Chain A
Amino acid sequence: MSDSSNQKLNRRALLLGAVLLVGGAAALTRFVRKPGIAGAADPALTAEHFALLEQVCEVIIPTTDTPGAIVAGVPAFIRQMIEEWSSEDSRAELLGVLDAVEKFAWSRFGAAFVELTPERRFEVIKTLDAQRLAIQDPAYRKFKHLVLVGYYQSEIGATQELRFELVPGAWRSCVPLSEIGRASAV
């Protein structure tokens, strides 16, 4: 990462810190460009993106009787994947999905996604999910794939939500599902 982009990040972090001190989450959205957000060519995930990413992940995998995406570390995992795993093309695709969420929130409800009520957030993601999967959009599939990997291959997702044994120790070839309970994470 170049020095100038480091400085850019630091400036953002400082600004965000100040914003959060003054006005909390609602004030944050004033710094989000509308209708889109930061340019996809930007190599790092901005703090605005991350705040949005957290809420999108939590809508896809919410907290129910088991922890949701945020507690399971999904947003941090996706940030790591964007920074360390993604090619430039994939990074643009993944950030493009976040942009699309934000655009859709503004066009449908006239506000940033993170400002919406839980019901409206759900509606935005549910609609987008249905639209993008109707055409099996590769960018959205990649994004949803990372959310699911991030959750179901986390310790929480694998062992609390689903079932995982590092060392099964036995093969039982045909048993009632009720005896096993949940799907195997691996």
Chain B
Amino acid sequence: MDFDAIVVGSGISGGWVAKELCERGLKTLVIERGRHVKHRTDYLDFSAPWDVAHRGMVPEAEVAEHYAVQSQCHAFNSATKQWWVRDSEHPYSTPADRPYHWIRGYHLGGRSITWGRQTYRMSDYDFGANLKDGHGIDWPIRYADLSPWYDRVERFAGISGATEGLEQLPDGHFLPPMALNCVENEFKKKIEQDFPTRRITVGRCAHLTEPTAEHIALGRGPCQLRSHCERGCGYGAYFSSLSATLPAAEKTGNLTVITDSIVERLDYDHAKRRISGVRVIDTNTRQARSYQARVVFVCASTIGTTQILLASQSEYFPNGLANRSETVGRYLMDHVTGIGASGTHPGFLDRYYYGRRPTGFYLPRYINLTEKADVDFLRGFGFQGYSGRSSWQRGEHETGVGAELKQRLRTPGQWGMQLIGFGEMLPRADNRVTLHATRKDRWGLPLVHIDVTHGDNDLRLANRANRDAVQMLVAAGFENVAPLGKVNIPGQSVHEMGTARMGRDPSTSVLNARNQAHDVQNLFITDGSCMTSTGTVNPSLTYMALSARAANYAADRLASGEI
């Protein structure tokens, strides 16, 4: 054996698995398809606005030719361009009338560099939802199974937040919270008064407000309130694979990382019910290589993992590795967003703030939990929101030029607020990732074909989120209140999940309660593809907890000789 363990992918899930396995003394190989990236030195986080190419605006022809999909992500600009693939070089297909936005970056650390850093625990309302209403299959775990692992990953990652004592949003192990600003505090007061079961808390986020000795030992420092996190953070103040998990893994001496290596397929030995090899293509030399290990974790991101499984066909698994259930690639989900409302507040003109807080506030789910009347859909939504004062940007659409304009823009404008809904998307078998029958990429691998639509429940839920958001802003005294607009194109939440789901029954799911493939004992999957439902909260913290839990389970079984 070349290694004890192989981890495919170096994003949030792969980084966590690598750290845990290395710390358990296992010689671990991380395989990343993208390029190598150096923490700190490869970031543009010390460039002032006037030093950023075209002040952040990527040339229009370049966007049209290479970044038509990636540029839809709010974090895409000329200081972050290196973190997104060129769509022109990494094509995928969709039906012409059903677009899907697959937003991604191929480099060491993956999307852990550009993620939104919002970190919330799922609750038993989420883990029990499928069983309760019959959509999808039951999760094989409950909150109690994951709770100690949430503790573990929160301590290491460093999560800032406030405890609230809410059943639907379990508290965690938090660093000090960042504060709400004046208007957000006023909003909180009014909403909690008018809607007694709704709660507003400052956004829980993977930022070090007060680093612990463990954080400092890894070279991480406190958040400096710059809020251009998506460029990468030289202070290591937010959690990423590059700032946290990979350095911790490296310290053990057990880590090997190879980049520029695409996993083409996993070889399966049916006699032993094991993965016998991981075949990769070197993206520079196009040479094929193969690696062996006792256990293999696939953490290539939901769609990337699905591609690898489907491409790994064998006599025993003619439709893709670990796909006896025919569910690999099905039940793709992404949070329903693009919903919510915005408005302006006429007051607090003598108040402002200092610094750029890299989070907002969170209004956790209430619908179908504490407020059940007059609801025509299943599941629910939560809102992420923020308030701030407008600045010079308003001059673009406000009339006025000359000394008057200059004088006016010197003072911040009105306070505005946005409430952005994130709704649960039901699992549906027809929402599916397959391999394209004929088209191949530049390495000769079949293109991914993605076919996803929102269902009736998703759209009804979206309507209600718009309605509630408008109602809350009006109730809190905001003006110019309007819904945000249309439901997003699937994929735009960048919370894709579900295509290799966990379950109790091998005939309807791919993975067991430990993220281990039912049918392949040394194969584990801990990225978003394992998710049996979406819940309403941002999923990354759950991927971390599942990854740490599965890695330690695998290490135990390797030690006892059961794998």
With a cutoff of 8 Å between Cβ atoms, the chain B residues found around residue A109 in the complex are none
| Beta-carbon contact of B179 and A84 below 8 Å | no
Chain A interface: which of B128-136, B349-357, B465-473, B527-535?
B349-357
B410 near A174 with CB under 8 A, answer no
Residue-wise, chain A 89-102 has the 8 Å CB interface mask toward B (1 for contact) of 01000000000000
Q: What mask results when residues 145 to 186 of chain A are scored 1 for a CB within 8 Å of chain B, else 0?
A: 100111111110110011011111111111111111011111
B182 lies within 8 A of chain A by Cβ? yes
Q: Is the CB of A153 within 8 A of B49?
A: yes
A81 within 8 A of B: yes
Given contacts A85-B59, A148-B395, contact A171 B353 (CB under 8 A): yes
* CB-based contact A153/B397 at 8 Å: no
Question: How many angstroms from the CA of A157 to the CA of B49 in the assembled complex?
Answer: 11
**Within the complex, which residue of B225, B352, B392, B400 is in contact with A152, where a contact is CB–CB below 8 Å?**
B392
Query: Which of B50-58, B166-174, B248-256, B486-494 has 4 or more CB atoms under 8 Å from chain A?
Result: B50-58
Given A148-B395, A177-B350, answer yes or no on A87-B401 (Cβ-Cβ < 8 Å): no
Q: Verify A129–B401 contact, CB threshold 8 A.
A: yes
Count, chain A residues at interface, CB 8 A: 59
Q: Cβ of B412 and Cβ of A183 under 8 Å apart?
A: yes
With A129-B399, A162-B391: A171-B409 Cβ-Cβ less than 8 Å: no
Q: Are B225 and A153 within 8 A (Cβ)?
A: no
Query: Does chain B have a CB within 8 A of A136?
Result: yes
On chain A, the residues within 8 Å of B156 by CB distance are none
CA distance A59 to B398 in the complex (A): 16
Say whether B163 faces chain A, with CB atoms less than 8 Å apart. Answer: no
Residue of B nearest to A81 (CB): B54
15 contacts between A and B (CB under 8 A): A81-B54, A84-B59, A86-B60, A122-B401, A125-B401, A148-B393, A148-B395, A149-B57, A169-B224, A169-B355, A173-B179, A175-B351, A175-B353, A177-B412, A183-B392
Complex CA gap A161/B349 in Å reads 20
The 4 closest A-B pairs by CB, nearest first: A173-B179, A87-B60, A168-B355, A174-B182
A172 touches B355 (CB 8 A): yes
A129 CA / B397 CA spacing, docked (Å): 10
B340 CB to nearest A CB, Å: 22
Q: Is B48 an interface residue (CB 8 A)?
A: yes
Chain B residues contacting A145 (CB-CB under 8 Å) are: 396
- The A40-93 residues at the B interface (CB cut-off 8 A) are 59-62, 64, 66, 77, 80-81, 84-87, 90
Interface check A126, CB cutoff 8 A: yes
Q: CA A62 – CA B180 in complex, angstroms?
A: 37
Complex Cα–Cα for A18 and B250 (A): 66
Residues of chain B at the chain A interface (Cβ within 8 Å): 46, 48-50, 54-57, 59-61, 64, 178-182, 185, 224-226, 349-357, 389, 391-393, 395-403, 405-407, 409-413
List of A residues within 8 angstroms of B402 by Cβ: 59-60, 62, 122, 125-126
B395 touches A144 (CB 8 A): yes
B399 touches A130 (CB 8 A): yes
Q: Which B residues are CB-close (under 8 A) to A85?
A: 54, 57, 59-60
Contact check: which of A129, A172, A182 meets B411 at CB < 8 Å? A182
A172 touches B354 (CB 8 A): yes
Whether A34 sits at the interface, judged by CB under 8 Å, is: no
CA distance A86 to B287 in the complex (A): 40
**Cβ of A61 and Cβ of B354 under 8 Å apart?**
no
Which residue in A84, A87, A167, A176 is a CB contact (below 8 Å) of B54? Answer: A84
Partner of B392, one of A81, A126, A162, A168: A162
Q: Which of A64, A150, A185 contacts B406 (CB 8 A)?
A: A64
Return A174 CB to nearest CB of chain B, in Å: 4
* Given the contacts A81-B54, A84-B59, A144-B395, A186 and B49 also touching, CB distance less than 8 Å: yes
Is A12 among interface residues, defined by CB-CB distance under 8 A? no
Q: Considering the chains assembled together, what is the distance between the CA atoms of A90 and B58 in angstroms?
A: 13
Q: Contacts A158-B48, A173-B357, A184-B391 hold; do A178 and B54 have CB atoms under 8 A apart?
A: no
- Given A64-B403, A90-B60, A174-B185, A164 contacting B49 (CB threshold 8 A): yes
Q: Kindly state whether residue A25 has any CB partner on chain B within 8 Å.
A: no
CA distance A161 to B408 in the complex (A): 11
Once the chains are docked, how many angstroms separate the CA of A145 from the CA of B48?
19
Q: Are A149 and B55 in contact (CB under 8 A)?
A: yes
User: CB < 8 Å: which of B226, B350, B395 contacts A178?
Assistant: B350
Give 1 or 0 for each of A10-32: 1 = CB within 8 Å of chain B CB. 00000000000000000000000
Which residues of the partner chain A approach B399 to less than 8 Å between Cβ atoms? 129-130, 133-134
**In the complex, what distance in Å separates the CA atom of A169 from the CA atom of B225?**
6
- Residue of B46, B56, B180, B356 ringed by the most chain A CB atoms within 10 A: B356
Report Cα–Cα, A170/B413, bound state, in Å.
Answer: 22
